[in-house]
Structure 1
Amino acid sequence: MDMNNSFPISVEDFRHFAKKRLPNFLFDYIDGGSNDERTMAANIADFEDYCLKQQVMSDVGSVNTSTELCGQTASMPLALAPVGMAGMMARRGEVQAAKAAKAAGVPFTCSTVGVCSVEEIKQASTSIPWFQLYMLRDRDVVLQILERAKLAGCNTLIFTVDLAVAGMRHRDYRNGMLAEGLKAKWSMFSQLATRPRWLMDVGCLGGPHAIGNLSDVVDNPNSMAAFKAFIDSQFDPSVTWKDITWLRSVWDGKLIIKGVLEVDDARQAVDAGADGVVVSNHGGRQLDGVASSISKLPAVVDALDKQIDVFMDGGVRSGIDVVKAVALGAKGVLIGRPWVWAMAARQEAGITALLTRFQQEIEVAMALMGVNRIAELNADLIDH
């Protein structure tokens, strides 16, 4: 197919267009994983191990994909995952994504390290996002950020726990994003020069290029180097489940722990007071060589036995993948790379088209499986 003369339909289509529009270092930042990227690949490939069961001659005249996620009605069991630096992929990218999510009736998650602040997202989209946070060394900064989220009306906190140290993302070193010195700077400059449309849309018109939610805690809010130095200094490898218990004591909204793969960790999240967990390996961007999220999902679901909600992310590339995850026990899924690729390719309209396609795929799959409601999806409808 000649992609130059077509409109993107699938996630892979959007990825193709995003690669053509973004400077290489930004595309690789979104597209890449850690080390040899085996876990990232397994996240996608392992969905093939689970087959849907087709059931015919059922009355499927009233298929409804809606559900409830963290106490709010959603048009389908899907939310937009937090993605750092998304505002560098399109002009005020987090705002565009929040608007598209609201129009589609699904939650949007604001990243701590996004370009747009939670206040900007709320004002521009007239919706209240979920909020994502890491445990920082400076607990006063954690409290300060939580207060910002509360004042913006956020009630659901997605807390990422699989980032005690940063994974080894080789692509980011190869293209100069994490390397230092004149050669690295020249490499990035040459990549920018090949993308004049991005330079105008984001580079010139998309400012301020800062980390909005950290603007009050970084000495020079207009310096990306200052932000990077601050974030690097705030990784805290000493975090334990006791810190999550503390977090639960200072956050009175929904608390979802993101980055759990093993049953024992999922149980620890329950004991710490979490309302849910996200079965996740950080999209294959942290520890390469661990199992895929979808392969770990059933054991976590069985172990928690509906004590709290279980979500998953990693490798979801279609509505059919969403149906598989929900049938295996997930309350819903989070998608990251797909919405960023769609936005980079076609702005807010791209995300809208992507979410429309996901919902259509979920609806068609449910009808051909002989079910009308999300609650009817279960493991009996999966061959493995």
Structure 2
Amino acid sequence: MSAPAHDAGTPFDIDDVARAACRALPGPVWDFIDGGSGTESTLAANRSALGGICLVPRALTGVTRGDCAGELLGSRVSAPLAVAPMAYQRLVHPDGDLALARAARSAGTVYVASMLSSHTVEEIAGTGAETWFQLYWLRDRDRTGALVERAEAAGCRALVLTVDVPRMGRRLRDLRNAFALPPTVTAANLDTPAGEARSTTAHTARPGASAVTAHTAETLDPTLNWADLAWIRARTRLPLVIKGIMDPGDAARAVEAGADAVVVSNHGGRQLDGALPSISALPGVVRAVDDRCPVLMDGGIRSGADVLKALALGATGVLVGRPALWGLAAGGQEGASAALRLLHTELEEAMALAGCGDLAAARRLSVRTAAGAQVADEGTAR
């Protein structure tokens, strides 16, 4: 008697979610969300670096389940996870950011709304999700300030300033596809008042070019610097998170400049190709920050075990990007919820199997390389 086949729509891991998303999306859209810059070496390195780290489980702890509930910048969370800011989510599903924000709410996690979201920050915050607002530095400083005020008025709990995009990385898949946004997908927070001309740059396909890259160059100010960070710090009372930190010296300076948290991130391998994997940069940043603020991390997280590795290396929590977006593409709000539930379930199981009853124990867990060597700076969170 043969074993019953499982429901093809039931994801058992994040790879299942990715495959479902790939089937659901047009090729150029899949390439836009899945691809990296250049040869995609950093995209691959994010995963291989995590794969090269091994957890050292503790025995005889009496732990029956891992309690992964905690807090991120004052926001209570069911697990130390936040949905990373991702632009133009209506590309993958008509409900876009609203569906993913609702999925984050139901999962008990933070949703970081992108400045380039397909819905306004007011609409996203209106879902009831615990919302942080991600900000790029616009060429028009007054417009940047106005977005900060809108985020505050909408009830966002933190600002996340992304600092690693002086220009967009050269994403070859998008160039080969001459990728452009459809007219129905816009950066809703940047839409101009009725009657004013709106830029069509992001929607104008040109052979061998990315319209999204052209729009980024037109919209974002590449001269963002430490003085601008001081300006934004003085502009808001919200907690300020600096995303895109890789160098320990930059991390220390960000804290001195008033950052309430930093995110170790190479932009998911979509900016500088050849950059250090985020998990490899994490211990040095944790050491430089020296408990003065939380350190979060993104880049390559695909399982609960990956989250546990980041916690063991000193992260307060992780941001999850592609897995949540893949879930949205595969099944809308329910698909995104399923992806987030998977990560939560896997983290609970990994913690229990490692003998960690809570997040404090997870951060005391030892990690080694596959060859048994100590990971650089291990123990910074002890």
Work out whether the TM-score is over 0.5: yes
Mapping of residues 226-245 of structure 1, within 5 Å: 231-245=216-230
Task: Quote the Cα distance in structure 2 between the aligned partners of 1:72 and 1:6.
Answer: 32
- Choose 344-353 or 2-11, whichever is displaced more: 2-11
Equivalent residue number for residue 315 of structure 1 = 300
CA change 1:340–1:43 in 2 (3 A) is: same
The alignment covers a number of residue pairs equal to: 357
What is residue 155 of structure 2 aligned with on the other side? 153
Describe the superposition over 1:91-142 as per-residue Cα deviations: whole angstroms up to 9, x where unpaired.
121000010100010000110111011111122x223411001111110010
Shift in Å, 1:217: 6.6
Query: Which position in structure 2 is the counterpart of 1:281?
Result: 266
Relative to structure 1, the CA distance from residue 239 to residue 323 in structure 2 (aligned partners, 3 Å threshold; closer, same or farther) is same
Give the equivalent residue in structure 2 for 1:93: 96
> Deviations along 1:297-337, whole A, 9 cap, x unmatched?
01110111111110000000001100110111001000111
Counterpart in 1 of 2:277? 292
Q: Whole-Å Cα distance in 2 between the matches of residues 252 and 18 of structure 1?
A: 39
Separation in 1, partners of 2:19, 2:66: 32
Which residue in 2 is equivalent to 1:183? Answer: none
Structure 2 match to 1:365? 350
The more displaced of 128-137 and 273-282 is 128-137
Structure 1: distance between partners of 2:169 and 2:149? 29
Q: Structure 1 residue runs of 4+, over 6 Å off?
A: none
Return 5+ residue gaps in structure 1 as ranges. 179-187, 189-202
State how far apart, in whole Å, the 1-side matches of 2:7 and 2:63 are.
38
- Decide which structure has greater helix share: 1
The gaps in structure 2 that reach 5 residues or longer are 205-210, 370-382
Please name the residue that 1:215 is paired with: 191
CA distance in 2, matches of 1:5, 1:375: 37
Specify the alignment match of 2:134 in structure 1: 132
CA deviation after TM superposition for structure 1 residue 21, in Å = 1.1
Name the amino acid aligned to 1:268. Answer: R
Q: Does 1:266 align with 2:251?
A: yes
Alpha-carbon shift at residue 376 of structure 1 (Å): 1.5
| Structure 1 residue 26 corresponds to structure 2 residue 2 | no
Cα gap change, 1:220 to 1:17, in 2 (>3 Å): farther
Aligned with 2:330 (options 336, 345, 360): 345
User: What is the CA–CA distance in structure 2 between the aligned matches of 1:347 and 1:153, rounded to whole Å?
Assistant: 25
Distance 1:88 1:230 in 2: 16
Matched letter for residue 331 of structure 2: R
Rounded Cα–Cα distance in structure 1 between residues aligned with 2:64 and 2:293: 32
With the length of structure 2 as denominator, give the TM-score of the two structures. 0.88
Cα separation, partners in 2 of 1:222 and 1:121, compared to 1, 3 Å = farther
Q: Whole-Å Cα distance in 2 between the matches of residues 127 and 317 of structure 1? A: 23
In structure 2, distance between residues paired with 1:324 and 1:99: 27
Deviation of the 1:5 alpha carbon: 3.6
Does 1 or 2 have the higher relative contact order (CA < 8 Å, sep 6+)?
A: 1
Match of 2:377 in 1: none
Q: Quote the Cα distance in structure 1 between the aligned partners of 2:282 and 2:251.
A: 11
Deviates more, 1:321-330 or 1:234-243: 234-243
Structure 2 residue 18 is matched with structure 1 residue 10: no
User: Is 2:98 the counterpart of 1:122?
Assistant: no
- Cα pair distance change 1:259/1:3, threshold 3 Å: farther
The alignment yields a C-alpha RMSD, in angstroms, of 2.3
| 8 Å contact from structure 1 (residues 92, 116) kept in 2 | no
Select the residue among 225, 228, 238 that pairs with 1:253.
238
In structure 1, the residue matched to 2:38 is: 35
Amino acid at match of 2:125: K
Deviates more, 1:11-20 or 1:73-82: 11-20
* CA-CA distance at 1:239 after TM superposition: 1.5
Amino acid at match of 2:203: A
Alpha-carbon shift at residue 208 of structure 1 (Å)? 5.0
